[in-house]
Amino acid sequence: MEPVKVGLLGLGTVGGGTVTVLSRNAREIARRAGRGIEIAHAAARAYDPEAIEGVERISRIAEDAFAVVEDPQIQVVVELIGGYSPARELVLRAIELGKHVVTANKALIATHGNEIFAAARERGVMVGFEAAVAGGIPIIKAVREGLAANHIEWIAGIINGTGNFILTEMRDKGRDFADVLAEAQALGYAEADPTFDVEGIDAAHKLTILGSIAFGIPLQLDRCFTEGISRIEAQDVAYAAEMGYRIKHLGIARRSADGIELRVHPTLIPHRRLIANVDGVMNAVLVKGDAVGPTLYYGAGAGALPTASAVVADLVDVVRALTTDPNNRVPHLAFQPDELADIPILPMEAVETAYYLRLTAEDRPGVMARIASILGEHGISIEAIHQKEPDEGETHVPLVMLSHKVNEGRMNQAIAEIESLGSVRGPMVRIRMETLAG
Amino acid sequence: MEPVKVGLLGLGTVGGGTVTVLSRNAREIARRAGRGIEIAHAAARAYDPEAIEGVERISRIAEDAFAVVEDPQIQVVVELIGGYSPARELVLRAIELGKHVVTANKALIATHGNEIFAAARERGVMVGFEAAVAGGIPIIKAVREGLAANHIEWIAGIINGTGNFILTEMRDKGRDFADVLAEAQALGYAEADPTFDVEGIDAAHKLTILGSIAFGIPLQLDRCFTEGISRIEAQDVAYAAEMGYRIKHLGIARRSADGIELRVHPTLIPHRRLIANVDGVMNAVLVKGDAVGPTLYYGAGAGALPTASAVVADLVDVVRALTTDPNNRVPHLAFQPDELADIPILPMEAVETAYYLRLTAEDRPGVMARIASILGEHGISIEAIHQKEPDEGETHVPLVMLSHKVNEGRMNQAIAEIESLGSVRGPMVRIRMETLAG
């Protein structure tokens, strides 16, 4: 049987990795897929042929990405350029031409996925995006197919390797955020402008996609609450550890009685949880289904070959499904397009979590009572309270508290009142806390 | 669209769970699959209708399993009776009638899978067996589809919950095997006859299946090396812990230069590995692919609802693929049937691993030197050696050693020679050791 002809857009990190995997494992992939997969036409502005193993197997490489999409022999377009434009135009044009698409572009899917999937449905083509979430971990397939029997209750994931590397180093070495970030940049784990990773934007893209396939709702990136890790301090990492917790930057999608929570923020989790032990640049996603209970998926969330592993798995899926009836394929967002639900995504003020709180207060009688009374007035009950040792000659002491679950709106009010007390110095630190049980 | 009509064989633990999941999540499953799934005919010798949520939705329940298979309205047969006979005859008859099959029966697939898949291929029907390995964890799908781009190097799994519960309790409480086994039996985690679980037979079934889909080889249960955990002693668990290791009952499938290793045995692994922290009845499978690197899949390996989660996921896959060309479906053993490889499975003597060794030797000069010299003669180098404190008035001391990697045949010879020394008392304890890195 003729190999399937693929058009590849982009020969950067993931594009190069895809070329390498398809070349290195060509025989084994064909033994699985039933036919070969050939990159018949690729587009790249600039690339280093010496740096890409297998690049010599590509029949034609030019600069024009649209020419690849238009090339009549191309059956599947693999978009690995990234960004919004011209990625969106290229993908939509490929779909218009009746070609299947595979992409690793999380920003594109999270932002324009609804439009892209509608167009794909119209034309009866597949759009694979396994590589867009958690790199090489087959998490889209696990949630969309492997857990298809379940009412999914929640997902919590470490889905940004840079952020996890920084938090792991902060914990292991007691170092500060800025210090570790500089090291991560030197090692190439973090970009020169790290905003995308450390402020949770990248994680929000991935979480938006996970939330949609878990709960059967349209993609709504703008409703995702996002808080980064840049304000986490070494002392909070240390205090959390003393109390048996680790701080991880989690993406959490949860179905509650009132709607869906979609939130990315630093989170204290019990150190005995398996996901609390996922360190360095590795990713992991914990999924709780009503039938299966908790399941966890762990692996490399980025990098040339791991991401290519997901791109090529999508290609194999597309090859196997080329002859299928478009209406019987796995739906893009796990649920049939006319079965997507209109469940509201809750504003953060309506979300309930437990909290880690730290403040600096005057070390004299009555202060603690006043703080406790404000919390009590807002219905916030405290599970643990630790007064730390004051520095020599210091009149104020750090106070660390763990709260039970409470509505975030109420917590915001309580924090504002406590911060306005004359006996409290500076802003309070507030880090959300999850048990990840039940 | 008409619901798909399913025939269910067995209303025991997993059968009951399947009824419950299909009933409880009927709407959500149909939103994913595009049509409903109806149990139109079920067979059970005896069952408790009060104990099965959703059992009232089954149109017809009788005793005759063959009548379900023959029922012309049934399109998919779900075999949850277990055992070899009549499960094999029922499954083969369903296939003969052109019906798709879903089964959770690991013994059946590991033993008769080659015959069953050949028959299914002949008739163009699907046989789903996700539930046969690691319960609710979608590991078959992950290896067969999610990692399809990879040359899989090895798999190491905790794939028997009973064994893992026993080893976890032994470590946490310093208790002996027999003691913990009795507790596990009382709790219902272990059968009255625990052989199947603790001697590794159940794990061998699952590992045989994993090895086939990872490496593209026919199922060869009789070539799987199997050693149980019943001879693990509390002191070995403690000594391993002192040196930074945990003992887990692993199923390991590895591709080496000479062939394939397929082995179930107790294994020391570094305690910092994620899989070393998988405790209690939970399962986890670590898969190393050349592109993706290490990935791990964790969840409940048994139980009514988790196993039903996998059964129903297979049902959804079958429903989605009902109209597909049989030649373009995912092959049963991941590789196209005419592309299965004839790679030999190595006898255990040809496998290389590191070892934990414990022996009791006379506490006098020269004894250690004699043992070291025997190991040296067989090319075995020792990474660490610990002489434990002798009991009061005792002339012999426990000696614990960790070896580097060595061929098992050589180790067997060295052990035989050491055991024959007059200064060594009783048999040596030998537990294999893996780093699970690289």
SS3 state at B433: strand
How confident is residue A323, by pLDDT bands cut at 50, 70 and 90? confident
* Number of residues assigned to chain B: 438
8 Å CB contact of B295 and A291: no
8 Å CB contact of B149 and A294: no
Q: What is the mean pLDDT of residues A23-38?
A: 97
Q: Do B396 and B390 form a contact (C-beta atoms < 8 A)?
A: yes
Closest residue in A to B330 (Cα) is A320
Largest Cα–Cα distance of chain B, in whole Å? 83
Question: What pLDDT does residue A393 have?
Answer: 85
Question: What pLDDT does residue A190 have?
Answer: 86
Q: Which two three-digit tokens encode residue B235?
A: 């002191």
pTM: 0.97
Size of interface A-B (CB pairs under 8 A): 234
Helix axes B304-320, B26-33, angle to 10 degrees: 30
- The number of angstroms, rounded, from the C-alpha of A185 to the middle of its chain's C-alpha atoms is 20
Element holding A359 (H helix, E strand)? strand A352-362
Q: Do B80 and B108 form a contact (C-beta atoms < 8 A)?
A: no
How confident is residue A196, by pLDDT bands cut at 50, 70 and 90? very high
Q: How many other β-carbons are positioned within 10 Å of the β-carbon of residue A411?
A: 24
Residues of chain B with Cβ-Cβ distance to A324 below 8 Å are 321, 323-325, 328
8 Å CB contact of A141 and B145: yes
Give the percent of chain B with pLDDT over 70.
Answer: 100
Residue type, B202: D
User: What is the number of alpha carbons within 13 Å of residue B74 lying toward its C-beta?
Assistant: 31
Question: Which residue is catalytic, options A5, A141, A206, A288?
Answer: A206
For the stretch B231-277, pLDDT in tens is 999 999 999 999 999 999 999 999 999 999 999 999 999 999 999 99
What is the residue-wise DSSP string for B240-266? Answer: HHHTTEEEEEEEEEEE-SSSEEEEEEE
What is the residue-wise DSSP string for B356-403? Answer: EEEEEEE-STTHHHHHHHHHHHTT--EEEEEEPPPPTT-SEEEEEEEE
For residue A142, the 8-state DSSP code is I
How confident is residue A325, by pLDDT bands cut at 50, 70 and 90? confident
For the stretch B188-221, pLDDT in tens is 888 889 999 999 999 999 999 999 999 999 999 9
Q: How far apart are the first and last CA of chain B?
A: 50
Give the Cα separation of A50 and A53 in Å (integer).
7
What is the residue-wise DSSP string for B398-422? Answer: EEEEEE--EEHHHHHHHHHHHHTST
Give the percent of chain A with pLDDT over 90.
Answer: 93
Q: What is the mean pLDDT of residues A88-114?
A: 98
Position A438 pLDDT exceeds 80: no
Question: What pLDDT does residue B260 have?
Answer: 98
Query: Which pairs from B360-363 meet CB under 8 Å and 24+ separation?
Result: B360/B396, B360/B397, B360/B398, B360/B399, B360/B424, B360/B425, B360/B426, B361/B396, B361/B397, B361/B399, B361/B421, B361/B423, B361/B424, B361/B425, B362/B395, B362/B396, B362/B423, B362/B424, B362/B425, B363/B390, B363/B394, B363/B395, B363/B396, B363/B397
Give the closest of B290, B291, B328 to A321, CB-based.
B328
Position B168 pLDDT exceeds 80: yes
Give the closest of A29, A298, A339 to B274, CB-based.
A298
Question: Is A36 within 8 Å of chain B by CB?
Answer: no
Q: Which residues, in sequence order, are bridge partners of residue A355?
A: A432
Give the percent of chain B with pLDDT over 90.
Answer: 93
Q: B366-389: buried (b, 16+ CB within 10 Å) or exposed (e) per residue?
A: ebbeebeebbeebebeeeeeeeee
Question: What pLDDT does residue A1 have?
Answer: 82
Residue A162 phi/psi, 5° resolution?
-60, -50
Q: In 3D, which of A35, A138, A53 has the Cα closest to residue B289?
A: A138
Residue A206: active-site member = yes
Q: CA of A295, closest CA in chain B: separation in Å?
A: 4
Q: Do A336 and A250 form a contact (C-beta atoms < 8 A)?
A: no
Closest residue in A to B215 (Cα) is A28
Q: How many other β-carbons are positioned within 10 Å of the β-carbon of residue A206?
A: 27
Give the Cα separation of B27 and B37 in Å (integer).
10
Q: Which residue has the higher pLDDT, A213 or A438?
A: A213
The four Cα atoms B211, B297, B310, B191 give a dihedral, to 10 degrees, of 80
How confident is residue A321, by pLDDT bands cut at 50, 70 and 90? very high
Q: Which two three-digit tokens encode residue A360?
A: 């600096």
SS3 state at A229: coil
Q: CA of B312, closest CA in chain A: separation in Å?
A: 5
Give the closest of A31, A149, A296 to B308, CB-based.
A149
- Residue B72 burial (CB < 10 Å; 0-12/13-18/19+)? exposed
8 Å CB contact of B324 and A325: yes
Question: What pLDDT does residue B61 have?
Answer: 97
Sequence-separated (6 or more) residues with CB below 8 Å from residue B200: B160, B163, B226, B227, B228, B229, B249, B251, B264, B265
Position B438 pLDDT exceeds 80: no
How confident is residue A391, by pLDDT bands cut at 50, 70 and 90? confident
Q: What is the ipTM of this complex?
A: 0.97
Counts of helices then strands in chain A (DSSP H, E):
14, 17
8 Å CB contact of B321 and A328: yes
Give the Cα separation of A216 and A336 in Å (integer).
8
Q: How many other β-carbons are positioned within 10 Å of the β-carbon of residue A427?
A: 11
Residues of chain A with Cβ-Cβ distance to B311 below 8 Å are 149
Q: Do B423 and B361 form a contact (C-beta atoms < 8 A)?
A: yes
| Average of per-residue pLDDT values in chain A | 96
Position B24 pLDDT exceeds 90: yes
Sequence-separated (6 or more) residues with CB below 8 Å from residue A363: A390, A394, A395, A396, A397
Give the Cα separation of A291 and A151 in Å (integer).
7
Q: In 3D, which of B39, B52, B41, B50 has the Cα closest to residue B12?
A: B52
Question: Is B13 within 8 Å of chain A by CB?
Answer: no
Q: CA of A78, closest CA in chain B: separation in Å?
A: 15
What domains lie within chain B, and their CATH numbers?
Answer: 4-136+304-339 (3.40.50.720), 141-299 (3.30.360.10), 352-433 (3.30.70.260)
Residue type, B57: R
8 Å CB contact of A305 and B293: yes
- Residue A322 burial (CB < 10 Å; 0-12/13-18/19+)? middle
Cβ within 8 Å of A, B 14-33: 17, 21-22, 24-25, 28-29, 31-33
User: What is the number of alpha carbons within 13 Å of residue A241 lying toward its C-beta?
Assistant: 14
Question: Which residue is catalytic, options B99, B206, B248, B288?
Answer: B206
Q: Which two three-digit tokens encode residue B304?
A: 């009514």
For residue B346, the 8-state DSSP code is P
- List Cα–Cα distances, A230 to A200, B138, B240, in angstroms: 10, 36, 40
For the stretch B376-391, pLDDT in tens is 999 999 999 998 888 8
Give the percent of chain A with pLDDT over 70.
Answer: 100
Q: What is the mean pLDDT of residues A244-254?
A: 98
Position B304 pLDDT exceeds 90: yes
Question: What pLDDT does residue B414 have?
Answer: 98
How confident is residue A328, by pLDDT bands cut at 50, 70 and 90? confident
For the stretch A256-297, pLDDT in tens is 999 999 999 999 999 999 999 999 999 999 999 999 999 999
Q: Do A28 and A316 form a contact (C-beta atoms < 8 A)?
A: no
Residues of chain A with Cβ-Cβ distance to B285 below 8 Å are none
Q: In 3D, which of A259, A306, A295 has the Cα closest to residue A156?
A: A295
Q: Which two three-digit tokens encode residue A406?
A: 């409470």
Give the Cα separation of A347 and A184 in Å (integer).
33
Question: What pLDDT does residue A244 have?
Answer: 97
8 Å CB contact of B149 and A21: yes
Q: What is the mean pLDDT of residues B170-187?
A: 94
Question: Edge to edge, what strands does the sheet with A100-103 contain?
Answer: A61-62, A37-43, A4-9, A76-79, A100-103, A127-128
Cβ within 8 Å of B, A 273-292: 274, 277-278, 284, 289-292
- The number of angstroms, rounded, from the C-alpha of A56 to the middle of its chain's C-alpha atoms is 34
Question: What pLDDT does residue A389 have?
Answer: 82
Cis peptide before A337 (omega within 30 of 0): no
Q: Which two three-digit tokens encode residue A236?
A: 């909070």
* Number of residues assigned to chain A: 438
Give the Cα separation of B94 and B377 in Å (integer).
59
For the stretch B70-126, pLDDT in tens is 999 999 999 999 999 999 999 999 999 999 999 999 999 999 999 999 999 999 999
| Average of per-residue pLDDT values in chain B | 96
HEC profile of B36-86: CEEEEEEECCCCCHHHCCCHHHCCCEECCHHHHHHCCCCCEEEECCCCCCC
Cβ within 8 Å of B, A 130-169: 130, 136-138, 141-142, 145-151
Q: Do A119 and A95 form a contact (C-beta atoms < 8 A)?
A: yes
How confident is residue B325, by pLDDT bands cut at 50, 70 and 90? confident
